Structure 1
């Protein structure tokens, strides 16, 4: 069985669709549905984030109604939660506004979260400072905007829903420009073998398609071999 360090290194080297397919290889069927819906925006087209979720909810459309001291204390609870824990982590932050307007993710927050050791942020909310975000800290977001508006933290370390995907604290998250998914922890150890098998079987068809003289007959033969190999 692969070491967790090796598994995480592999997961950082592949895209999210690959992990989705590999989970179905492990399950032996289609039907895995713990993934995002819709089309997110990505600050880094090559950026991949993998880690255990650190979760929160924010709001920015209106000023907070709670006392300033309560807001400040919750903000520190938020950063404490983000900084807590060993190993790779991903910030998953749900913006609860019906139409998110306030950018929580910019130069300052990406720099702080990267400093805490997080590998990226997933949010249905807003990002800004696109040319100044912390290098190597991808943000997958729902919107781009210029202002932080009245952004404030309203809840820390509870279940959140982003792009239709429910994420709980410590869930394993994989995300990139395509969206995100939650990896069942029971599947982690099997992912390297599943990814390798998927890549081998897909290569049967792709190598045939790239070869000179590819036609329907060679496609049919390669597809038959592909289906036999993946079962």
Structure 2
């Protein structure tokens, strides 16, 4: 994507203009579809996914303990960039813990828009927050539009102004001893496995995954469901409503 095209579409997808300065592989899903998904609420997308029978209806979404911190920001769509963190103990010197610069390089190996997915390895989770104004600003500039974590977040007022999505289990005061443990492998968030490059979709209701092989078909499927449902909704809200009429729909 050239810079002019990037800048014209960046705001629509929630990307920072600064993200045009970093590399990005080609997106598996075209811009038009990504934008349609971002503008679509998650229940509508979930209903559309069900029509393709590609997974059980009780799978593919995060449980309600992962909550949107900024529901007013609307929709979020992006490719998963997974990692694990720990905050209850100091990072061991010379151990398997990775350098921050390596993490940044890995982020830009995933197509934009990106959603950072951090599994908190502490028990209990949420001891310290990896996420605040500084990391929010850095990751926004690197083409991320939000974070999904079973850990904690902080600096809410500042990050809200960035337009950067937080979906988390906890809100925390401190970063404690937070450090990255590993990245680039599948993680589990509240029991749901998320792999590198998975397409995530979130809003005020929560977060779910969009199967890549049907992503382009979801907007049309959603439109068909909308048309069917609104025949019932419109009739129920009309002055001509009757029980017998409802039974005939």
SS at structure 2 position matched to 1:36 = coil
Answer yes or no: is the 8 Å Cα contact 2:110–2:197 preserved in 1: no
Determine the C-alpha separation between the residues in 1 that align with 2:111 and 2:182: 22
Residue 193 of structure 2 corresponds to residue 166 of structure 1 = yes
Once the two structures are TM-superposed, the CA of residue 74 in structure 1 deviates from its matched residue by: 2.6
Determine the C-alpha separation between the residues in 1 that align with 2:177 and 2:233: 50
RMSD, aligned α-carbons: 2.1
Residue 207 of structure 2 corresponds to residue 180 of structure 1 = yes
Answer yes or no: is the 8 Å Cα contact 2:79–2:110 preserved in 1: no
Partner of 1:123: 149
Partner of 2:32: 6
SS at structure 2 position matched to 1:132 = helix
Determine the C-alpha separation between the residues in 2 that align with 1:156 and 1:49: 22
1:77 is aligned, of 102, 110, 114, to 102
Once the two structures are TM-superposed, the CA of residue 113 in structure 1 deviates from its matched residue by: 0.9
Runs of 4+ more than 3 Å apart? 68-71
- Runs of 5+ in structure 1 lacking a partner? 223-231
SS at structure 1 position matched to 2:51 = helix
Answer yes or no: is the 8 Å Cα contact 2:79–2:111 preserved in 1: no
Determine the C-alpha separation between the residues in 2 that align with 1:212 and 1:68: 73
- Return 146-155 or 37-46, whichever deviates more: 37-46
**TM value normalised by structure 2:** 0.80
- Runs of 5+ in structure 2 lacking a partner? 1-28
Residue by residue over 1:50-85, the C-alpha shift from the partner in whole angstroms, topping out at 9 and shown as x without a partner, is 111111000111222x206864x4322222212334
1:22 is aligned, of 28, 48, 57, to 48
Determine the C-alpha separation between the residues in 2 that align with 1:45 and 1:107: 18
Residue by residue over 1:30-55, the C-alpha shift from the partner in whole angstroms, topping out at 9 and shown as x without a partner, is 63611111332322113322111111
Determine the C-alpha separation between the residues in 2 that align with 1:62 and 1:33: 33
Residue 143 of structure 2 corresponds to residue 109 of structure 1 = no
Determine the C-alpha separation between the residues in 1 that align with 2:119 and 2:55: 31
Q: How do 1:191-230 residues align onto structure 2 when only pairs under 5 Å count?
A: 191-222=218-249
Partner of 2:172: 145
- Return 83-92 or 5-14, whichever deviates more: 83-92
Residue by residue over 1:145-188, the C-alpha shift from the partner in whole angstroms, topping out at 9 and shown as x without a partner, is 10001110001111001122210001111122322112111111
